[in-house]
Structure 1
Amino acid sequence: MIEVQGVAGQCIAVLGLGRSGLSAARALRAGGAQVLAWDDNSAARDVALSEGFEVQDLTGEAAFDDIAALIVSPGIPHLYPQPNKIVANALHAGVPVDNDIGLFFRSFASAEWADYDQPPKVIAVTGSNGKSTTSALIAHVLQEVGRDVQLAGNIGRGVLDIDPPGDGGVVVLELSSYQTELARALTPDVAVFTNLTPDHLDRHGGLGGYFAAKRRLFAEGGPDRAVIGVDEAEGLFLAGQLAEGRGDDRVIRVSANRKLLGPGWLVFARKGFLSEYRKGKQAGSIDLRKIKGLPGAHNHQNACAAYAACRTLGLAPKVIERAFHSFAGLPHRSQLIGEKDGVSFVNDSKATNVDSALKALLAFENIRWICGGLAKEGGLSALAPGFAHVAKAYVIGREAAEFSLQLEGLEAEVCTTMEHAVAQAMADATPGETVLLAPAAASFDQYDNFEKRGEDFIRHVKSRL
């Protein structure tokens, strides 16, 4: 546990008692604070009571008279589309509002660091897509080379649940816009921006607010190194804001679709090859086509960002390449389940929207595509560029027939259930093809979440391998 510093004797309120909220409450108590906990969910309050926390309703007008700070869980809005009532009460009372990420950064350093040869470092990763894979890949590379590394934040453990790092330790954090927009302290050593596509726009008041939430990771703390994906206008703008000149190698520009030019520090992927350039000269390269855990252009972008972050720590290109080859991928994200008779089986249940499903379709050739579920707004027309890769679609979900009608130009079979879809796709598949689950839809019509959907796919595939 990371004990929160500077709170001894203070009364601190915690709103939201999920994973991050309870973690913050424990870390605050360990730091000597008096913790008042609240959640609208009675079951969550009962858990807090069972751990000895004082539970107090914070909705009253005088609730914050004796409270020094309010710690808010990520899912609770504090500005758009409208502030949570309790957050609004705290702001009216002049009480600072923070989250567990802010507590982590203000409490990460300790007196023991004076005895370390190498102070611990934090690599923080944000962006719209790929941040989980990028974070996990960085942690995997560091683990493979024997570094003391912990993965936390939006993936792995809660940030305050990790162990205090040892000499030369590295903490890799995946941070969402919900986390970066509110944290009062953001001081990573290395900050990574993967990309930006529209998401959570109601929460941030539009695309500009969404980008501003991501940008805080770079603007508030001033990382020693910034790895910036420049394939979108926002990333290009951010890199330009951070760099003092063309050759400023504190900013590493990353691209997955074009060769980057100039005297700075550049990492890009073209036609499956990763290249690193510094001061106009090539410093490293990797053939990404041979790495099964990183298929497709979107994963090549993740690989470039992870490679750049690892290079800031002094790892050699060949060392990083070897570690890439042993990366199995994250569950439900282009996860290779197995192979049989020349047919590959890939679980990308995390592809819950059109954008992520299209990336999956473009990552493979000759696909037997299992798709469908609870469709999102906007329709499926944006998937069309990937249809040339699809031999046939097998549609699941309660509205499978309606979903299939939107797949114009594709042969589509209405299967409804995962069991039927897997059985039919496996029966039809020939050597060299890939049976791919990339639903392009939410899972809630048939499953509790996308993980359960992916697990069902894996179960039916493995029962037939």
Structure 2
Amino acid sequence: MIPLPAYRGAEVGVMGLGRSGRAAAASLAAAGAHLSVWDDREDLCREFGAAEPFEPSGLDRLVWSPGIPHLHPRPHPLAVRAEAARVRPVADISLLIEAMPDCRFVGVTGTNGKSTVTALIGHALARLGLPHAVGGNLGPAALGLPALGPGGIYVLELSSYQLALMTGPPFDVAVLLNIGPDHLDRHGGMHRYAADKARIFENRAAAIVGEADPWCRRIANRLRAQGRAVTAIGDDGPALPGMPGLHNRRNATAALVALAALGIDSGDALEAMSGFGGLPHRMEPVGEICGVRYVNDSKATNPESAAFALASFERVRWIAGGQAKTDDLEALRPWFGRVAKAYLIGAAQGPFARALADHAACECLGDLDTALAAAHREAEPGDVVLLAPAAASFDQWESFEARGDAFREGVRGLMGTAG
């Protein structure tokens, strides 16, 4: 838990009682703040004894959980009252950075790949024996992280929701991997989404930018025009075992550059990165049956991320579909030739089938179990059965993790039968 002595006796509101809100409330209560809490879920309010929404007027700080929309798709009533009272909602990340001024902070964001890069940097720091903590959008909430001593390094994955709420001191190292359409209902469109991502570079942080897409190139060029030094993320990074694909070479490059910005020798950093096998549900090798490999990329919840997965293999039995963020599969078009067949599931199966017409063989199969069984039955040696849905999971699963777990268990069942 992060100590927050500056808030002793302060009037603080916490909006949202999920993972980050609970950690914020615990840290603030331990500091002796006068705390008011609320959530749009009645069960969470009952758990915390909150009978009615608090009024923002008179608050010294309003900590807003990033999972609760405050401006889009429509302004939250509490956010409207906060604006009228001139109380700005802030993220828990801001309180962490304020509370630990003698530490260094690495922020990592991007539409795709940010969890992998965050975890890879953390893995290398652990191998190097440097005091650090990893969290934010990945792992523990910011204020639930351990308090590090002077020189400690916090490595934080940052969502666009968190960045939209950020205020205060800068990151020492800021990494922007890529930007593609995602969460547009929460930001009011691509321009606002990109602008929120770019907030990671406020206050002169060392800027590391992937320039493979036009949105990131524009941000990098704007930073250079301001006289900022920008390090581009190239395609020539190391190929780490268990992390196939060009996108993972970019991820490795981003981690190397970030470690260099912390003053770590590149040779030491590369050695420390070895042994990192990737994260679950992100190009995760699950098994091999009769020369057919099975790969779980359930975290590929948008077409751009799924395109990285398709580009990594020569011949794919592709399981796709779910709750589509978009029916536009244009980002995948260059890789349709690698699709031996698409096995479509969920609410998006119809729109995806129409988008794939004349490009790849496909079949609408409804659910994951049926699709996996069909792909297994039809796969030939050398094929890859790939779960890369290009869609969210919420039409059939509570999370992409649950969907990926089900795929993994299904493959293990098939391996048992084959054995």
**TM-score if structure 2 supplies the norm length?**
0.90
Shift of 1:75: 2.7
User: Is 1:360 the counterpart of 2:338 in the alignment?
Assistant: no
Q: Which runs of 5+ in 2 are unaligned?
A: none
Match of 1:222, as an amino acid? R
Judging changes above 3 Å, is the alpha-carbon distance between structure 1 residues 428 and 316 closer, same or farther for their aligned structure 2 residues? farther
Judging changes above 3 Å, is the alpha-carbon distance between structure 1 residues 392 and 88 closer, same or farther for their aligned structure 2 residues? same
3-state SS of paired residue (1:363): coil
Judging changes above 3 Å, is the alpha-carbon distance between structure 1 residues 177 and 186 closer, same or farther for their aligned structure 2 residues? farther
Q: For 1:359 and 1:414, how far apart are their aligned partners in 2?
A: 23
Q: For 1:97 and 1:375, how far apart are their aligned partners in 2?
A: 30
Q: For 1:437 and 1:174, how far apart are their aligned partners in 2?
A: 24
- What is the aligned partner in structure 2 of residue 278 from structure 1? none
User: Is 1:178 the counterpart of 2:161 in the alignment?
Assistant: yes
Larger Rg: 1
- What is the aligned partner in structure 1 of residue 232 from structure 2? 253
Judging changes above 3 Å, is the alpha-carbon distance between structure 1 residues 433 and 65 closer, same or farther for their aligned structure 2 residues? closer
Judging changes above 3 Å, is the alpha-carbon distance between structure 1 residues 445 and 88 closer, same or farther for their aligned structure 2 residues? closer
User: Is 1:202 the counterpart of 2:181 in the alignment?
Assistant: no
Judging changes above 3 Å, is the alpha-carbon distance between structure 1 residues 439 and 238 closer, same or farther for their aligned structure 2 residues? closer
Compare relative contact order (CA 8 Å, sep 6+) and give the higher one, 1 or 2.
2
1:177-228 residue CA offsets vs partner (Å, 9 max, x unmatched): 2111222224211111111123333333332222221222212x322x2211
1:388-436 residue CA offsets vs partner (Å, 9 max, x unmatched): 1122222333675664454223223444333333233233333332111
Judging changes above 3 Å, is the alpha-carbon distance between structure 1 residues 40 and 424 closer, same or farther for their aligned structure 2 residues? closer
Which of 372, 389, 401 is residue 338 of structure 2 equivalent to? 389
- What is the aligned partner in structure 1 of residue 204 from structure 2? 222
User: Is 1:369 the counterpart of 2:281 in the alignment?
Assistant: no
3-state SS of paired residue (1:441): coil
Shift of 1:377: 3.4
Shift of 1:25: 1.1
Name which of structure 1's ranges 87-96 and 423-432 shifts more when overlaid on structure 2: 423-432
- What is the aligned partner in structure 2 of residue 163 from structure 1? 146
Q: Where do 1:142-157 residues align within 5 Å? A: 142-157=125-140
Contact 2:45/2:51 (CA < 8 Å) preserved in 1?
Answer: no
Judging changes above 3 Å, is the alpha-carbon distance between structure 1 residues 21 and 149 closer, same or farther for their aligned structure 2 residues? same
- What is the aligned partner in structure 2 of residue 18 from structure 1? 18
- What is the aligned partner in structure 1 of residue 293 from structure 2? 344
Contact 1:121/1:169 (CA < 8 Å) preserved in 2?
Answer: yes
Q: For 1:382 and 1:193, how far apart are their aligned partners in 2?
A: 20
Q: For 1:406 and 1:207, how far apart are their aligned partners in 2?
A: 22
Judging changes above 3 Å, is the alpha-carbon distance between structure 1 residues 347 and 121 closer, same or farther for their aligned structure 2 residues? same
- What is the aligned partner in structure 2 of residue 451 from structure 1? 401
- What is the aligned partner in structure 2 of residue 277 from structure 1? none
Q: For 1:93 and 1:58, how far apart are their aligned partners in 2?
A: 15
Contact 2:63/2:91 (CA < 8 Å) preserved in 1?
Answer: yes
Q: For 1:314 and 1:20, how far apart are their aligned partners in 2?
A: 31
Q: For 1:201 and 1:376, how far apart are their aligned partners in 2?
A: 9
Match of 1:337, as an amino acid? V
Q: Which runs of 5+ in 1 are unaligned?
A: 50-54, 110-118, 255-267, 275-285
- What is the aligned partner in structure 1 of residue 367 from structure 2? 417
Judging changes above 3 Å, is the alpha-carbon distance between structure 1 residues 232 and 415 closer, same or farther for their aligned structure 2 residues? closer
3-state SS of paired residue (1:252): strand
1:121-163 residue CA offsets vs partner (Å, 9 max, x unmatched): 2111112221111111111122222222211110010000011
Match of 1:362, as an amino acid? A
Cα RMSD (Å) of the superposition?
Answer: 2.4
Aligned length: 414
Q: For 1:361 and 1:14, how far apart are their aligned partners in 2?
A: 42
Match of 2:332, as an amino acid? L
- What is the aligned partner in structure 1 of residue 378 from structure 2? 428
1:337-387 residue CA offsets vs partner (Å, 9 max, x unmatched): 123443321101112222222221111111121222334433445432211
Shift of 1:46: 2.6
Match of 1:216, as an amino acid? R
Contact 1:5/1:106 (CA < 8 Å) preserved in 2?
Answer: no
Contact 2:327/2:352 (CA < 8 Å) preserved in 1?
Answer: no
Q: Greater helix percent: which structure?
A: 2
- What is the aligned partner in structure 1 of residue 28 from structure 2? 28
Name which of structure 1's ranges 162-171 and 8-17 shifts more when overlaid on structure 2: 162-171
3-state SS of paired residue (1:71): strand
Judging changes above 3 Å, is the alpha-carbon distance between structure 1 residues 323 and 391 closer, same or farther for their aligned structure 2 residues? farther
User: Is 1:92 the counterpart of 2:71 in the alignment?
Assistant: no
User: Is 1:43 the counterpart of 2:43 in the alignment?
Assistant: yes
Contact 2:316/2:341 (CA < 8 Å) preserved in 1?
Answer: yes
Match of 1:57, as an amino acid? E
Q: For 2:220 and 2:187, how far apart are their aligned partners in 1?
A: 22
Match of 1:297, as an amino acid? L
Match of 1:152, as an amino acid? G
Judging changes above 3 Å, is the alpha-carbon distance between structure 1 residues 396 and 241 closer, same or farther for their aligned structure 2 residues? closer
Match of 2:13, as an amino acid? A
- What is the aligned partner in structure 2 of residue 439 from structure 1? 389
Q: For 1:21 and 1:445, how far apart are their aligned partners in 2?
A: 26
Q: For 1:234 and 1:414, how far apart are their aligned partners in 2?
A: 34
